[in-house]
Amino acid sequence: MGYSEVYDRWKQDPEGFWMDAAKAIDWDRMPSKALFDENAPLYEWFSDGMVNTCWNAVDRHVEQGRGDQVAIIHDSPISGVTRRITYVNLRNRVAQLAGALRAKGVEKGDRVIIYMPMIPEALEAMLACARLGAIHSVVFGGFAASELAVRIDDCKPKAIIAASCGLEPGRVVHYKPLLDGALKHCDHQPDFCVIFQREQDVAQLVEGRDVNWHGFQYGVEPAECVPVEGNHPVYILYTSGTTGAPKGVVRHTGGHLVALNWTMKNIYNVDPGDVFWAASDVGWVVGHSYICYAPLIHGNTTIVFEGKPIGTPDAGTFWRVISEHKVRSFFTAPTAFRAIKREDPKGELIKKYDMSCLRALYLAGERADPDTIEWAQKVMQVPVYDHWWQTETGWTIAGNPAGIEPLPVKIGSPTVAMPGYDVQILDEAGHPVPAGELGAIAIKLPLPPGTLPTLWEAEDRFRKSYLDHFPGYYETGDAGMKDEDGYLWIMARTDDVINVAGHRLSTGAMEEVLAAHPDVAECAVVGVVDELKGHVPVGFVCLTKGVERTEGEIVKECVKMMRDRIGPVAAFKLAVVVDRLPKTRSGKILRATMAKIADNADFKMPATIEDPAILDEIRDALRTIGYAQ
Ligand code: COA
Ligand code: AMP
C-alpha cells in the first residue's frame, strides 16, 4: 500500500485504523474501542484499555528475547565516556529504581519532576515513573531556577529526581544549587529529592529531604509494572505559550504507545534492532518521543548523546557517532546542521567516516531552510526529510512517510499530513482557503492518538488556547499553506512564540522579565533572523522618566536578568533602549513590523499605526546592534 491508500484507509475508518495499530502494543486489557468522544470537543483514545508504558518499552523486549540487545548507548564526547545498557540491564535498573521510589511512597498518579542532563539515568527515571504509573515532568537543564519553580508549583511533585550537574562545553552546570534555589521560591515542597551524583560535581545533600540515587535503592524490592488506564497521563511536559506561565501538555498512556510505535516504521523506517538516533535533549518533546519512548517501545537501540554538533571536539562528531554506532535513521534540528556547515562548509570531516549505515536524515523543531537541506543532502548523500510537529502533538503532523513510500521531496515543505491528521488552512473566519493561499493551519478534530487531550489542571486554558478560535478544529499557532499536491508549507507562527536554535520560547515571558526591571517603563521582545539559530530575541526597552544610569548598564542588567530568570537557553543577548514603541491606535505594539525592519524584509505600513515616524527610530536603534542594515 502506498501513502495515499494508507491515508485514505485511515480517513474512511479511523477506528479500524487505530485499533489495528493498537495490536502492536501489549495490553493488560485490550481497549473496547479507539476513540472516546463523549466529551467532544475533548477527545480521548483507548481510555478503557489497561496497559503499562515501561512494560512495552522495556520488559516485553526481554520476554521476547531481546534482552541482550543494547537498548541505550550513552555517547558523551564532553565527559569522554561511552556506555552501553542492554534491555535486560535496563529492565533491572528501572525496576530497582521504581522499587526505591515506591518504598518512599511514590504511587500511581503522583507527579515526579526530573531535572537531569543527557545521561541514561534520565531515561531510567522516566521509565521508572511510568512503571509505577507516576506522572513525570522533565525540566530542561538550560532553564533557570525560577522556570523550574513555576513547574514545581504547577504540577506539585511528590518527588524530584535530579543530577548533581550537567556538562556544557567548558562549563559545569550545577543543577543542585538551581534546584535548591527553585525550592526556596516554591509554595509546594516535594516529600523528597533523589540526587544522582556525577563525578564532575558532587552536590551537598539536604538532610532529611535529599537521598542519594544509589543509596536509596539499596536493598529495596524491585517494582513490577503497574497497569494503568489508557487515558492515564504518562507525563506532563511544559512548553512556551503566549504568557510567562508555561503550558503543561498532558500525554495519555494508550495513545502515546500506539502512535509512537506506528511512527518508527512508517515515518522513520526502522525495524526492531536497528539503531535510531535523535540528537536533541530529554527536556524537549523530541527527547521524550524519540530519545526515550518511541525507539524503546519499538525495540530499537537509542543513543543518548551528551555533546554538541560542533566543538565536542569538532564538526565531525555527528559523523563519528553515526558511523561508530551504525545509526540507520538520524533526527536533529536544522540549527545543528547550520552550525556544522559554518565550521566545515566543504564537508571535509565526513570523509573520515564510513556512513554507509545511514539511510535518512530527519529535520524538525524549526523551519528547515533550503540552503541547509541542500547542503545536508550533498554532504551526507542520503534523503533529507523535513517534518513538522509540536510539543502538543508529540509526533509528526506532516512528514515524508518513508517507511510506507518515500514521496518526492519539495525543498522547504515538510511534505504531507500523516494519517490521523486532517490539516486545513483557514481564513480568519474559519473557512478553508483554496490551495496555494496562506492562512492559519488548523487540524480537524479529533486529533489522533498520542496528541494532547488537555493541559494539566487547565482545561479552560486548553480550550482557549487551541479550540475556541476555530470551532471543530485544533489551532496549531502556525501559519502556512497547502499546495495543489497536498504538500504543506509552514511559514510563521501566529502568536508570540519564537524558535531559537530549535528551542521554543515565548517572547511574552521575556517581556515579563524585562518589565520587572525597575528602570523599564515599557518593553517589547521580537524574534529576529539569525544565521545560526534561525531566530534570536531582541529586546526594546523604554526607560522610566528621570533614570540617570547609562543605557549600556541597563541593557547589561536586562541580559543578566533574562539569563537568571528564564535561563541561558533564551539566548537573550541583544537589547536596545528606545524612546517609544510603535503601536496601533488601539495601543497594540507592532511587534511583527519591528521584526520585519530588523530583518530588512518588505512590510506593509500598518493602516492603524499611531505614528509612522517611530519606525525610523526603531530602525536606527536596530542599526546600533547590527540589524536593519
Ligand atoms: N543545560 C544548561 N545550559 C544549556 C543547555 C543545557 N541542557 N543547553 C543549552 N544550554 C546553554 C548553552 O550552554 C548556551 O549558553 P551560553 O549562552 O553560556 O553559551 C545557551 O544555553 C544557548 O544554547 P543554544 O541556543 O543551544 O546554543 P549553543 O551555543 O549551546 O549551541 C548550537 C549552538 C549550534 C550547537 C545549537 O544550534 C544546537 O545544536 N542546539 C541544539 C538544537 C536542539 O537540540 N534542539 C532541540 C529540538 S529538536
Ligand atoms: P516545539 O513544540 O518546541 O516542538 O515547537 C513547535 C513549533 O516549532 C511549531 O509550531 C513550528 O512553529 C515550529 N516547527 C517545528 N517543526 C517545524 C518544521 N519542520 N518546519 C517549520 N516549523 C517547525
DSSP result, 276-306 = EEE-S-TTSHHHIIIIIIHHHHTT-EEEEE-
Give the number of the atom of ligand 2 that is nearest the alpha carbon of residue 286.
4
Q: Nearest to residue 218, comparing CAs of 112, 90, 122, 104?
A: 104
- Residue 153, all three cell numbers: 508549583
**575-599 residue pLDDT tens:** 999 999 999 998 999 999 999 999 9
Per-residue confidence (pLDDT) for residue 489, from 0 to 100: 97
What is the CA(8)–ligand 1 centre distance, in A?
41
Percent of the chain with pLDDT over 70: 100
| CA quadruple 617, 622, 626, 628: dihedral, nearest 10 | -80
| pLDDT greater than 90 at residue 485 | yes
Span between the terminal Cα atoms of the chain, in Å:
53
What is the CA(534)–ligand 2 centre distance, in A?
12
Per-residue confidence (pLDDT) for residue 496, from 0 to 100: 87
Per-residue confidence (pLDDT) for residue 242, from 0 to 100: 77
* Ligand showing the shortest atom-to-Cα distance for residue 280: 1
The CA-CA-CA angle for residues 473, 457, 25, to 5°, reads 70
Task: Specify the amino acid at residue 356.
Answer: S
Per-residue confidence (pLDDT) for residue 629, from 0 to 100: 84
**Residue with the nearest Cα to atom 4 of ligand 2?**
390
Tell me the average pLDDT across 123-128: 98
H-state helical runs in 104-227: 120-132, 145-155, 175-184
**209-237 residue pLDDT tens:** 999 999 999 999 999 999 999 999 999 99
**Residue with the nearest Cα to atom 22 of ligand 1?**
569
**197-216 residue pLDDT tens:** 999 999 999 999 999 999 99
**489-528 residue pLDDT tens:** 999 899 889 999 999 999 999 999 999 999 999 999 999 9
Per-residue confidence (pLDDT) for residue 501, from 0 to 100: 94
**45-54 residue pLDDT tens:** 999 999 999 9
**pTM for this model (two decimals):** 0.96
* Ligand showing the shortest atom-to-Cα distance for residue 241: 2
Instruction: State the average pLDDT for the chain.
Output: 97
What is the CA(569)–ligand 1 centre distance, in A?
6
Tell me the average pLDDT across 544-559: 95
Strand segments (E) across 240-274: 247-252
Whole-angstrom distance, CA of residue 231 vs CA of residue 43: 10
Per-residue confidence (pLDDT) for residue 46, from 0 to 100: 98
What is the CA(280)–ligand 1 centre distance, in A?
10
Query: Is residue 564 a contact partner of residue 558, using CB atoms and an 8 Å limit?
Result: no
247 lines ligand 2 (CB under 6 A): no
Per-residue confidence (pLDDT) for residue 153, from 0 to 100: 97
What is the CA(181)–ligand 2 centre distance, in A?
31
**3-45 residue pLDDT tens:** 999 999 999 999 999 999 999 999 999 999 999 999 999 999 9
Give the number of the atom of ligand 2 that is nearest the alpha carbon of residue 414.
19
Place of cell 536544522: 334
Per-residue confidence (pLDDT) for residue 243, from 0 to 100: 76
Residues near 546 by Cβ (< 8 Å), separated by ≥ 6? none
Percent of the chain with pLDDT over 90: 97
Query: Is residue 280 a contact partner of residue 332, using CB atoms and an 8 Å limit?
Result: yes
* Ligand showing the shortest atom-to-Cα distance for residue 535: 1
**366-404 residue pLDDT tens:** 999 999 999 999 999 999 999 999 999 999 999 999 999
414 lines ligand 2 (CB under 6 A): yes
**Residue with the nearest Cα to atom 11 of ligand 2?**
366
Query: Is residue 274 a contact partner of residue 328, using CB atoms and an 8 Å limit?
Result: yes
Name every protein residue with a CB atom under 6 angstroms from any ligand 1 atom.
Answer: 117, 141-142, 166, 168, 173, 280-281, 284, 286, 308-309, 333, 335-336, 339, 365, 500-503, 532-533, 568-569, 571
The CA-CA-CA angle for residues 119, 144, 186, to 5°, reads 105
Tell me the average pLDDT across 346-356: 98
H-state helical runs in 304-457: 317-325, 334-343, 370-380
Whole-angstrom distance, CA of residue 417 vs CA of residue 516: 42
**523-537 residue pLDDT tens:** 999 999 999 999 999
What is the CA(365)–ligand 2 centre distance, in A?
4
Give the number of the atom of ligand 1 that is nearest the alpha carbon of residue 339.
34
Query: Is residue 198 a contact partner of residue 163, using CB atoms and an 8 Å limit?
Result: yes
CA atoms within 13 A on the CB side of 194: 29
What is the CA(283)–ligand 1 centre distance, in A?
12
| pLDDT greater than 90 at residue 554 | yes
239 lines ligand 2 (CB under 6 A): yes
